[in-house]
Amino acid sequence: MNKPETVFPQTTQPVANPARVGAIDILRALTMVLMIFVNDLWSLTDIPAWLEHVPRGVDGIGLADVVFPAFLFIVGMSLPFAIDNRRKKGDNFQQLIGHILFRSVALLTMGVFLVNGESINESATGMPRLLWNVICCTCFILIWNSYPKSAPKSLVTGLKGLGILTLLALAVLYRGGEGGSISRFEPHWWGILGLIGWAYLVAALITVGAQNRLWVLLTAWAVFAALSLIAHAGWLPDALHVIPGAIRNGTLVGLSLGGVVISTLFQQYRKKGDNRQMTVVFLATAALLIGLSVLTRPYWGLAKLGETPAWLFLCSAFTLLAFTAIYWVADVWGQSRWFGFIKPAGTDTLLCYLMPYFAYATTNFLGIHLPEIVLTGGIGLLKSFLFALLCVGLTGLLNKAGIRLKL
Q: Give the CA radius of gyration of the chain.
A: 22
Residue 19 confidence (pLDDT):
52
Contact 214, 264 (CB under 8 A): yes
Residue 18 confidence (pLDDT):
53
pTM: 0.92
Residue 406 confidence (pLDDT):
84
Q: In the structure, what pLDDT confidence band is assigned to residue 181 with cuts at 50, 70 and 90?
A: confident
Q: pLDDT digit string (tens) for 319-369?
A: 999 999 999 999 999 999 999 999 999 999 999 999 999 999 999 999 999
Name the nearest CA neighbour of 26 among 331, 254, 255, 252: 331
Residue 5 confidence (pLDDT):
36
Q: With 70 as the cut, is the pLDDT of residue 4 above it?
A: no
The single-letter DSSP state of residue 55 is P
| Percent of the chain at pLDDT exceeding 90 | 89
Within 10 angstroms of residue 209's Cβ, the number of other Cβ atoms is 14
The single-letter DSSP state of residue 338 is G
Q: With 80 as the cut, is the pLDDT of residue 305 above it?
A: yes
- Give the residue-averaged pLDDT of 394-399: 97
Q: pLDDT digit string (tens) for 67-84?
A: 999 999 999 999 999 999
Q: With 60 as the cut, is the pLDDT of residue 106 above it?
A: yes
Contact 69, 311 (CB under 8 A): yes
Name the nearest CA neighbour of 195 among 255, 108, 118, 260: 108
Distance CA 206, CA 236 (A): 22
Please state the domain extents for the chain. Answer: 22-119+188-400
Give the chain's mean pLDDT. Answer: 93
Residue 8 confidence (pLDDT):
32
Distance CA 298, CA 60 (A): 11
Residue 12 confidence (pLDDT):
37
